[in-house]
């Protein structure tokens, strides 16, 4: 009798479960705090997306990437709670070309983001071309609200009647919070740590939308402003019940060496640079905490990376590439290998470390796969969809990727090939091909030890006595002691020698076979390039930003430059000032 009652009750329970399951089929969205399934089996909410893009960080600057004394922080939490890439690359070793590539999924040289200036300056006439499609524009097409806070560095042109022709509000961003059009920390040093005669407001201004807020910005609470603008944008998007895309360009890590938040001064055993890493990471944590308060954590894909390697030339005040050679402005691993962290609870398995070779250019096509969007089909996209790598660790069956990730760890696939071009040349300088790296041109590396041992470079405890950016160019017309051409190229096995200390003998058959396999592919790749004119070359003082003094500490830059020159003509005072600023023997040298 009792057994029959139990059997009847069990059958009733199963029938009720069947009814409930069928009643819930076709729901448009899961609950706000509940992790939806991936891959999607039906209609689903598009995830919120946050890209944290730091500036001048070293591959080895975080505890989770091996730094022995940097304190654990929110970025390390992201790595612990998501997937950490150990072979993640920027497309350039300088800010503007790297950021342009991330935004478009295309090599900087395809976009025209190359030239004599190497980055966009306050007097750059051009910027990221308006005809290029950005991640923000593509996400808007599928229903996203888009916002930007922090560093932009893809052009301004304040003289333009369109009020900042190249600013982010012209590139798909609905909301533009407090932002830095560019970032030159040393020119903004009010406390005179590094500049006896600074600051030079000429390079130190903040924008909100297309309006200058304040200059100089060193005592402006940038961290708090960035966090307040970012979290406010996210809350507004939630009220609209729309998915949001936030591009958060964190300030130059060494930009806060005269620190914008006093609470972080002296907080790191690593010193001032460690303080700045902690402050930058705190902003990341504050934004992620807000995501959790909004109960959006399971529906938010967060990505952390940075634009290029560390500025090792400024001794102990810059970042650390860990085991890797080189840093910002060169194309050794330390200049282009960067942190890459992807976190999405319930979708990307926590605690995964992968050595798959990937690029920041992969972010664009990968996001389009995830949200059901599309990349432009009228141009070459250099990035690849890496969604199969992000989600392959989940227990459920995964869909076939829309494009294969070519990597040495996937038998049967060809090796992944990444090509780098120096911003002042159009010839390839470096190629990664599977496990191997080929250098056609190398730059002299100014290590911290060399800086310290050379009189006048680094003082007590690694304090920079002057900025050292010698040998930062890579065109062949540079001094012989700085730039060396290699034919055949230098070859390294990065699995065995990530420090690029031991070149392989390319005359040996097994090494030559790899070189012979790579070269035809590189030649075909070169043939696919249609190189636009160099957009970073044209500069004109007439486009330099200037504000009317209506905001605190905001004045007209032309008090330093003299009268506003007409387009195409630079005033003598402007030339004299710039000549002084680009003198490598002067401690006010611009980066």
Q: What are the residue numbers of the active site?
A: 95, 153
Query: 199 preceded by cis ω (within 30°)?
Result: yes
Q: How far apart are CA 179 and CA 147, in angstroms?
A: 11
CB 379 within 8 A of CB 134: no
CB 59 within 8 A of CB 256: no
Residue 471 DSSP symbol: T
- Joined together, the tokens standing for residue 23 give 């009643």
Helix axes 74-81, 272-293, angle to 10 degrees: 60
With a CB cutoff of 8 Å and minimum separation 6, the contacts of 286 are 227, 231
Q: How far apart are CA 337 and CA 254, in angstroms?
A: 19
Whose structure tokens read 């790297």?
A: 98
- Enumerate long-range contacts of 410-417, CB under 8 Å, 24 or more apart: 416/357, 416/384, 417/518, 417/521, 417/522, 417/525
Handedness of CA 169, 226, 63, 299 (dihedral sign): negative
C-beta atoms surrounding 32 within 10 Å: 14
Alpha helices in 25-107 (DSSP H): 74-81, 95-104
Q: How far apart are CA 536 and CA 125, in angstroms?
A: 8
Q: Rounded to 5, what percent of the chain is helix, strand, coil?
A: 30, 15, 50
Residue burial 455-486, b: 16+ Cβ < 10 Å; e: rest: eebbeeebebebbbbbbbbbeeebeeebbeee
Residue 348 DSSP symbol: S
Give the CA distances from residue 267 to residues 160, 178, 334, in Å, rounded to whole numbers and listed in that order: 44, 26, 26
Which of left, alpha, beta for 205 (phi over 0: left; psi -120 to 50: alpha)? Answer: beta
464: helix, strand or coil: strand
């Amino acid at each position: 009798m009792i057994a029959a009652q139990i059997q009847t009750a069990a059958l009733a329970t199963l029938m009720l479960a069947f009814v409930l399951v069928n009643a819930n089929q076709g729901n448009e969205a899961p609950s706000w705090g509940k992790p939806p399934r991936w891959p999607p089996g039906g209609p689903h909410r598009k995830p919120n997306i946050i890209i944290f893009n730091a500036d001048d960080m070293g591959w080895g600057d975080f505890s989770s990437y091996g730094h022995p004394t940097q304190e654990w922080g929110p970025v390390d939490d992201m790595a612990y709670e998501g997937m950490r890439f150990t072979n993640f690359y920027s497309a350039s070793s300088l800010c503007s070309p790297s950021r342009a590539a991330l935004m478009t999924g295309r090599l900087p040289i395809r976009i025209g983001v190359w030239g004599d200036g190497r980055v966009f300056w306050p007097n750059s006439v051009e910027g990221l071309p308006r005809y290029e499609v950005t991640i923000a524009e593509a996400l808007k097409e599928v229903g996203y609200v888009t916002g930007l806070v922090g560093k932009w560095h893809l052009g301004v042109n304040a003289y333009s009647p369109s009020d900042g022709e190249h600013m982010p509000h012209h590139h798909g961003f609905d909301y533009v919070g407090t932002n830095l059009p560019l970032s030159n920390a040393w020119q903004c040093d009010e406390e005179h740590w590094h500049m006896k005669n600074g600051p030079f407001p000429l390079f130190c201004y903040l924008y909100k939308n297309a309006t200058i807020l304040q200059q100089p910005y060193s005592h402006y609470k940038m961290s708090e402003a960035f966090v307040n603008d970012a979290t406010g944008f996210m809350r507004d998007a939630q009220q609209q019940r729309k998915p949001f895309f936030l591009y958060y360009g964190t300030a130059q890590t060494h930009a806060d060496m005269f620190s914008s938040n006093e609470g972080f001064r002296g907080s790191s055993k690593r010193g001032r640079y460690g303080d700045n890493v902690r402050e930058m990471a705190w902003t990341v944590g504050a934004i992620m905490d807000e995501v959790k308060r909004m109960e959006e954590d399971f529906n938010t894909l967060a990505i952390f990376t940075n634009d290029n390697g560390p500025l090792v030339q400024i001794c102990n005040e810059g970042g650390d590439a860990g085991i890797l050679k080189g840093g910002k402005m060169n194309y050794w691993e330390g200049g282009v290998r960067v942190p890459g962290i992807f976190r999405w609870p319930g979708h990307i398995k926590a605690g995964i470390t992968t050595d798959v070779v990937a690029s920041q250019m992969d972010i664009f096509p990968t996001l389009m796969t995830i949200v059901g969007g599309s990349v432009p089909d009228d141009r070459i996209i250099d990035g690849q969809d890496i969604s199969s790598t992000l989600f392959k660790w989940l227990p459920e069956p995964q869909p076939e990727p829309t494009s294969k990730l070519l990597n040495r760890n996937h038998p049967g696939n060809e090796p992944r090939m990444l090509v780098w071009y120096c911003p002042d040349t159009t010839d390839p300088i470096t190629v990664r091909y599977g496990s191997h790296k080929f250098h056609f041109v190398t730059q002299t590396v100014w290590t911290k030890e060399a800086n310290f041992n050379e009189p006048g470079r680094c003082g007590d405890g690694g304090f920079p006595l002057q900025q050292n950016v010698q040998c930062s160019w890579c065109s062949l017309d540079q001094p012989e002691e700085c730039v060396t051409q290699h034919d055949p190229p230098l070859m390294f096995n990065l699995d065995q020698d990530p420090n690029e200390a031991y070149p392989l003998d390319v005359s040996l058959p097994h090494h030559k076979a790899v070189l012979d396999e790579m070269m035809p592919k590189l030649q075909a790749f070169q043939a696919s390039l249609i190189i636009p004119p160099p957009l970073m070359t044209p500069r004109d003082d007439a486009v330099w930003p200037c504000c009317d003094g209506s905001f605190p500490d905001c004045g007209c830059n032309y008090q330093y430059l003299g009268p506003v020159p007409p387009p195409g003509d630079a005033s003598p005072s402007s030339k004299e000032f710039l000549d002084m600023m680009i003198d490598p023997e002067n401690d006010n040298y611009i980066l």
